[in-house]
Amino acid sequence: MVVRVPLSLTMSPSALLGFKCFLTQQYSSKELLKSLPELCRRGYSVKAQQAVEESGIGAAAGFRGPLDHYGGMIRDGTLREDEHQKAVLQKLEGLHKTLRGYSNTPTSFFSKFFTKPKPPKGYYIYGDVGTGKTMVMDMFYSYVETEKKKRVHFHGFMLDVHKRIHRLKQSMPKRKAGKMAKSYDPIAPVAEEISEEACLLCFDEFQVTDIADAMILKQLFENLFLNGVVVVATSNRPPEDLYKNGLQRVNFVPFIAVLQKYCQTLRLDSGIDYRKRNRPSAGRLYFLSSEPDVEAALDKFFDELAFKQNDITRPRVLNVHNRKVRLNKACGTIADCTFEELCDRKTQARRLITLVDALYDHKVRVVILADHPLEDIFVHNGDHGHDESHILMDDLGLKREEASSLSIFSGEEETFAFQRTVSRLTEMQTEEYWLEGDRSTKSQV
């Protein structure tokens, strides 16, 4: 897939400088193309488990568990030993053993009358970008011996929660004229639904930026934990920094105590961004728009990849959650998209961050054309005078001085999260990543 983003955007409170991508995907065009616009909006990774399985991680590799698997990768030279990663994996190894035979739902009629087993504590793993948090969690996840497990990007999980809440509210009988409506709280039933589907939830990139998410997390997770769900999560922030400077954060803070009660905090921070370590490059995958004839070079790149597809180059219109998304140029598993088609609405910077998260999770191959080097592609312009910000401040009854400390206006969350984006885009330019994303030898849908 090709995503072209020739632009020089300035948004409040952040400025995303010119960026243009050329992407080829590992998964089928149906599966990923239909997901991308929604991925941009909230960062959903719906097929992460498939990515784990196709990457070769899992019990089928002949290892006894995640720690043994890690040791095997050290021995064959795939990884270099990192004591911080190993220490976290030792904890996850213990949880992996504890979860053998664990269930949060009755396994028989008679078990309903006995006390439920106390669920083990989960883990909240945080640290700097590129230190291996996602890798160790995926190793752990692939060895947990239960079908009742889910591994999702956190924002995708919350998107699903809001959809369930909406569905339950819509299913309630309509209020008769002249009668008061009974209050209905759908969060507990939603938590129960999820608990029936999974006894283990693994979240990648636990980051709270949405006030709608922040206001329901305490009640949602309290019910999940009471229903015996075990949570393992990765994040760049420690629990106490979640939703830092967020709107109405005082109502969010009690969630932190709930999280810390049911999940042990582990820090994985070796100080090394392994995505930026010296590895063979896959060639020129990052271009600057100032280079001569660069558009023609990317067109040629697209044509070479499209030549291998059993399709013709044509526009496509995708229906994603009743919204039409138009792609002007696509061919098989290759798509040539503009930034406007995928991310150019409000909160463009956040959309780009979640887009890259989704592409990285799916091992999508990326070629980039940008106005500036990768490290300079996101800057904070300090401009709080944008019309959208003014409207939101007015709606909330906030003065400019009061709003300046809130992350929704300061761009703090985007600035923090973009470190991960730069790290991941760096790894996506390596030969190893490019080869992993090669779908040409795999069956196509």
Give tens-digit pLDDT for 255-274.
999 999 999 999 998 888 87
* Residue 277, pLDDT score: 74
User: What are the start-end ranges of the E strands in 236-342?
Assistant: 263-267, 286-288, 314-320, 323-331, 334-338
* Positions in the chain short of pLDDT 70: 1-61, 106-116, 175-183, 278, 320-323, 344-345, 347, 379-414, 416, 439-445
Beta strand pairing call for 365-370 and 334-338 = unpaired
Beta strand pairing call for 323-331 and 314-320 = antiparallel
Inter-CA distances, 143 with 139, 146, 309, 445, Å: 7, 9, 36, 28
Question: Residue 156 and residue 48: Cα distance in Å, rounded?
Answer: 11
Q: Record the tokens describing residue 72, joined without a space.
A: 């095997």
Q: Record the tokens describing residue 222, joined without a space.
A: 């309290």
Under a CB-based contact definition with an 8 Å cutoff, are residues 389 and 13 in contact?
yes
Question: What are residue 366's DSSP bridge partners?
Answer: 23
Q: Where are the alpha helices (DSSP H) in 362-427?
A: 387-396, 400-403, 407-410, 412-427
Question: Residue 304 and residue 337: Cα distance in Å, rounded?
Answer: 17
pTM of the entire predicted model: 0.64
Beta strand pairing call for 334-338 and 19-24 = antiparallel
Nearest to 366 by CA among 433, 280, 314: 433
Q: Record the tokens describing residue 57, joined without a space.
A: 């991680």
Give the three-class secondary structure for 237.
coil
- Please state the length of the chain: 445
* Residue 265, pLDDT score: 98
* Residue 355, pLDDT score: 81
Question: Residue 128 and residue 147: Cα distance in Å, rounded?
Answer: 31
| Helix then strand then coil, % of the chain, to nearest 5 | 45, 15, 40
Task: Write the single-letter amino acid at 223.
Answer: N
Q: Record the tokens describing residue 61, joined without a space.
A: 């590799």
- Give the phi and the psi of residue 148 in degrees, each rounded to 5: -90, 65
* Residue 270, pLDDT score: 83
* Residue 345, pLDDT score: 58
Under a CB-based contact definition with an 8 Å cutoff, are residues 280 and 441 in contact?
no
- Sign of the dihedral through C-alpha 85, 86, 88, 93: positive
The full set of domains in the chain, from first to last, is 2-45+280-436 (no CATH), 83-104+118-170+184-271 (3.40.50.300)
CB proximity list for 395: less than 8 A, separation 6 or greater: none
User: What are the start-end ranges of the E strands in 38-187?
Assistant: 122-126, 149-153
R_g of the chain computed on alpha carbons: 23
Q: Which helix (H) or strand (E) holds 14?
A: strand 14-16
Question: Residue 146 and residue 140: Cα distance in Å, rounded?
Answer: 12
Question: Residue 265 and residue 241: Cα distance in Å, rounded?
Answer: 13
Nearest to 127 by CA among 243, 268, 260, 264: 268
Nearest to 231 by CA among 241, 246, 217: 217
Question: Residue 307 and residue 415: Cα distance in Å, rounded?
Answer: 39
- Give the phi and the psi of residue 204 in degrees, each rounded to 5: -100, 140
- Residue 127 burial (C-beta neighbours within 10 Å; 0-12, 13-18, 19+): buried
- Give the phi and the psi of residue 57 in degrees, each rounded to 5: -80, 130
Under a CB-based contact definition with an 8 Å cutoff, are residues 190 and 168 in contact?
yes
Q: Which helix (H) or strand (E) holds 366?
A: strand 365-370
* Residue 418, pLDDT score: 78
* Residue 13, pLDDT score: 28
Q: Record the tokens describing residue 293, joined without a space.
A: 């004839």
